[in-house]
Amino acid sequence: MVIAIGFEGSANKIGIGIIRDGEVLANVRKTYITPPGSGFLPKETAEHHRNQVLGLIREALDVSKIYPNEIDVVCYTKGPGMAPPLLAVAIVARTIAQLWNKPILGVNHCIGHIEMGRLITGAQNPTVLYVSGGNTQVIAYSNKRYRIFGETIDIAIGNCLDRFARVIKISNDPSPGYNIEQLAKKGKKYYTLPYAVKGMDVSFSGILSEIGRKALPQKATKKRKLDQEDVNELPSHEDLCYSLQETIFAMLVEITERAMAHCGSNEVLIVGGVGCNERLQEMMGIMCEERGAKLFATDERFCIDNGIMIAHAGYEMFRTGTRMKWNDATITQRFRTDEVEINWEVGKV
Amino acid sequence: MEDIKVSLVIPFPTKRAAQIAYDVLRIDPEPKRNHIKKHYELNENNLKVEFIGDIAKNVRVALTNFYESIILCVETQKQFGPPVSEEYSHY
């Protein structure tokens, strides 16, 4: 039996999770929410995490009814992410490991998402779509690595959504993406946006500029005059949110389908913060049905960054013999999914 | 121009508490573009840190970051201590 505690704080969420052999004992989280029209910055986010982390550890211990001496391994997010918040959380994890005299393991954030998704949904060897505020990747397992088949070549999909939410100044509570999703449900008219799939990769920054121009034509530059259609009537926020979602989700479904065809896979797993968008799940579901494939997705407790996914990925690593030297318990802003060797079993190989 | 040098000596209640702060903080490299040299030294229950750099602003930033980190480490020790062992027994 292995009990692992996980510390996650690579972006604006700070989460602590405790897991015992795949059984979730505690999963607590706090989100740093900024006012409408503004995003979260590294320094302020780190300060938020520093203020919240100790209270959350206490809460996680209370909820799980686990004593520190029962814990086998302390896991934390090594990267990728913003350095100041990562560092704040890593310092606490290291101090805790020293105080309780437990081994420490740095976990790749993306691997955390994938393993958590597999644990919750029971997907065996899925094609993974990992979509969040900082990452957009299509991933499949092959020969001891999670290989990246396609990804964004500029900004992440969640970043595109968050920044559009800032353009039209909607609330960041509980999350900008959730509020866009609610507005989009009321959208009726589809505005044409660029569709930017480049081979297996996608691009969102041009789409963001274009929809920004549509939302605020007064800010558009003279260089790129708007279509007559757009000037006559200002598009509603609902229609814009709807058009944006439909376009960018269609791009994701396309590259996911191509990755599935390439791998001969009949399972799709959606993970990451954007993965709890029900419209994305619906669109992916239609594609899967047409192909006779199965879709796996989770809800916001496990999709959005959380401590339990770090604990679980750390548990898999620990169980299969991965150990970390103390001097390697650092953080790194860049840490690609395919840098991690996977020593545990993933489906049928 | 001569380098700016700042040294801090931080006393801890016990030798082990100082050792933990030393081990927790020493492993992070300073950001390269900061051009700051940082040395940690452990002397019984005192943690000594020295910052050397040629731009005052960078030294100040390094110091501020250090304060934030060590406060967090000390606060964690206060709430979840005392340490269960006299030394760390994993790699």
Residue B53 placed within a domain: yes
Residues A314 and A218 in one domain: no
Q: DSSP states of A99-144 as a string?
A: HHT--EEEEEHHHHHHHHHHHHH--SSPEEEEE-SS-EEEEEEETT
CA distance A327 to chain B (A): 6
Residues A31 and A49 in one domain: yes
- Domains in chain B: how many in total? 1
* Confidence at residue A177, expressed as pLDDT on a 0 to 100 scale: 95
Residues A90 and A208 in one domain: no
Residues A165 and A84 in one domain: no
**Nearest Cβ partner for A99 among B29, B69, B81:** B81
Residue A20 placed within a domain: yes
Cα–Cα distance for residue pair A225/A287, rounded to 1 Å = 36
Q: Would the CB atoms of A327 and B27 count as touching at under 8 Å?
A: yes
Q: How many other C-beta atoms can be found within 10 angstroms of the C-beta atom of residue A220?
A: 18
CA nearest to A203, candidates A195, A214, A215: A195
Residues A274 and A331 in one domain: no
ipTM > 0.90, yes or no: yes
Q: Would the CB atoms of B75 and A54 count as touching at under 8 Å?
A: yes
Q: Cα–Cα distances in Å, from A325 out to A74, A140, A157, A278, A298?
A: 13, 29, 35, 42, 34
Nearest Cα residue in chain B from A324: B91
Cα–Cα distance for residue pair A294/B20, rounded to 1 Å = 49
Domain that holds residue A332: 3-114+304-339
Residue B89 placed within a domain: no
- The DSSP call for residue A97 is H
* Confidence at residue A219, expressed as pLDDT on a 0 to 100 scale: 73
- pLDDT tens track for B19-35: 999 999 999 988 888 88
- Domains in chain A: how many in total? 2
Residues A58 and A141 in one domain: no
Residues A223 and A315 in one domain: no
- The DSSP call for residue A328 is G
CA distance B20 to chain A (A): 6
B86 at the A interface (CB within 8 A)? no
CATH number at residue B53: 3.30.310.50
Q: Would the CB atoms of B90 and A98 count as touching at under 8 Å?
A: no
* Confidence at residue A349, expressed as pLDDT on a 0 to 100 scale: 42
Residue B88 placed within a domain: no
Residues A236 and A261 in one domain: yes
Cα–Cα distance for residue pair B24/A166, rounded to 1 Å = 38
Residues A264 and A314 in one domain: no
Residue A106 placed within a domain: yes
Residue A345 placed within a domain: no
Residue B40 placed within a domain: yes
CATH number at residue A78: 3.30.420.40
Cα–Cα distance for residue pair A341/A319, rounded to 1 Å = 14
**Nearest Cβ partner for A329 among B27, B79, B82:** B27
Cα–Cα distance for residue pair B1/A241, rounded to 1 Å = 57
Enumerate residues 6+ apart whose C-beta is below 8 A from B29: A330
Residues A86 and A184 in one domain: no
Q: Cα–Cα distances in Å, from B51 out to A84, A345, B9?
A: 20, 47, 12
**Nearest Cβ partner for A101 among B24, B69, B85:** B85
Cα–Cα distance for residue pair A271/A136, rounded to 1 Å = 10
Best to test chain B binding among A61, A91, A98 (most B CBs inside 10 Å): A98
Cα–Cα distance for residue pair A100/A103, rounded to 1 Å = 9
Q: Cα–Cα distances in Å, from A237 out to A15, A162, A234, A244?
A: 32, 14, 9, 10
* Confidence at residue A287, expressed as pLDDT on a 0 to 100 scale: 97
User: A20 phi and psi, to 5 degrees?
Assistant: -120, 105
In tens digits, what is the pLDDT along chain B, a chain of 91 residues? 789 999 999 999 999 999 999 999 999 988 888 889 999 999 999 999 999 999 999 999 999 999 999 999 999 999 998 999 999 988 7
- The sheet carrying A13-20 orders its strands as A23-31, A13-20, A3-8, A73-79, A104-108
Domain that holds residue B45: 4-80
Angle between helices A83-100 and B15-26 (to 10 degrees): 150
Cα–Cα distance for residue pair B76/A211, rounded to 1 Å = 46
Enumerate residues 6+ apart whose C-beta is below 8 A from A345: none
Residue B91 placed within a domain: no
Residues A319 and A297 in one domain: no
Cα–Cα distance for residue pair A12/A107, rounded to 1 Å = 18
Contact A107, A308 (CB under 8 A): no
Residue B15 placed within a domain: yes
In tens digits, what is the pLDDT along chain A, a chain of 349 residues? 899 999 999 999 999 999 999 999 999 999 999 999 999 999 999 999 999 999 999 999 999 999 999 999 999 999 999 999 999 999 999 999 999 999 999 999 999 999 999 999 999 999 999 999 999 999 999 999 999 999 999 999 999 999 999 999 999 999 999 999 999 999 999 999 999 999 999 999 999 999 999 998 877 665 555 555 555 678 999 999 999 999 999 999 999 999 999 999 999 999 999 999 999 999 999 999 999 999 999 988 999 999 999 999 999 999 999 999 999 999 999 999 999 999 998 875 4
Residue B33 placed within a domain: yes
Residues A250 and A103 in one domain: no
